[in-house]
């Protein structure tokens, strides 16, 4: 992978934001993407820290989902909030993770992120269906470290 700036074009970012909007029409879950170059911390720990930093626990059903990517570390993690962990099986994110990994291995980052987001939306639909009075509880903008 490459530096954060080279990682995605402006067009790619817009396509990712559109994917988040689309996924959030399937589920009340709120999906965010955070991209940074590198972290000295263990990837999952760092993802949890970013989750807190972005105040992603600020959802009514505690169903925020973060896709954390460290471009230079060649690492990514998906983590969901407490409300999700309480109701799904331990391997819930495996399918989303594998989908993303398949694209990333080919160097196709934009499509990997989009596929992961749409997959997460589909997965969450069963447990957290879209509500008629849904609001956009967490920003769809990509967060950059």
- Asked if 140 is part of the footprint of Ca ion (rule: CB under 5 A), the reply reads yes
- Asked if 81 is part of the footprint of Ca ion (rule: CB under 5 A), the reply reads no
- Asked if 98 is part of the footprint of Ca ion (rule: CB under 5 A), the reply reads no
Closest separation in Å from C-beta 31 to Ca ion: 7
Q: State the distance between the two ends of the chain, measured CA to CA, in whole angstroms.
A: 16
Q: Choose one: 6-14, 82-90, 109-117, 126-134; the region binding Ca ion (CB under 5 A).
A: 126-134
What is the CB neighbour count within 10 angstroms for residue 25? 10
Closest listed residue to residue 101, CA positions, set 76, 122, 83: 76
DSSP 3-state of 40 = coil
What CA–CA distance (Å, rounded) separates 103 from 144? 21
Q: Compute how many residues bind Ca ion; rule: CB under 5 A.
A: 5
- Asked if 18 is part of the footprint of Ca ion (rule: CB under 5 A), the reply reads no
Given 8, 16, 30, 81, the residue binding Ca ion (CB under 5 A): 30
């Amino acid at each position: 992978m490459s530096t954060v700036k080279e990682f995605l074009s402006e067009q790619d970012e817009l396509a990712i934001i559109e994917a988040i909007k689309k996924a959030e029409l399937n589920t009340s879950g709120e999906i965010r993407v955070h991209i940074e170059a590198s972290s000295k911390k263990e990837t999952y720990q760092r993802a949890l820290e970013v989750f807190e930093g972005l105040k992603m626990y600020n959802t009514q059903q505690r169903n925020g989902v973060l896709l954390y990517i460290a471009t230079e570390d060649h690492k990514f993690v998906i983590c969901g909030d407490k409300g999700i962990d309480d109701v799904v099986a331990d391997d819930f994110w495996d399918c989303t993770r594998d989908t993303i990994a398949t694209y990333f291995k080919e160097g196709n980052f934009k499509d990997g992120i989009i596929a992961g987001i749409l997959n997460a939306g589909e997965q969450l639909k069963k447990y957290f269906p879209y509500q008629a009075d849904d609001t956009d509880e967490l920003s769809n903008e990509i967060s950059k470290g």
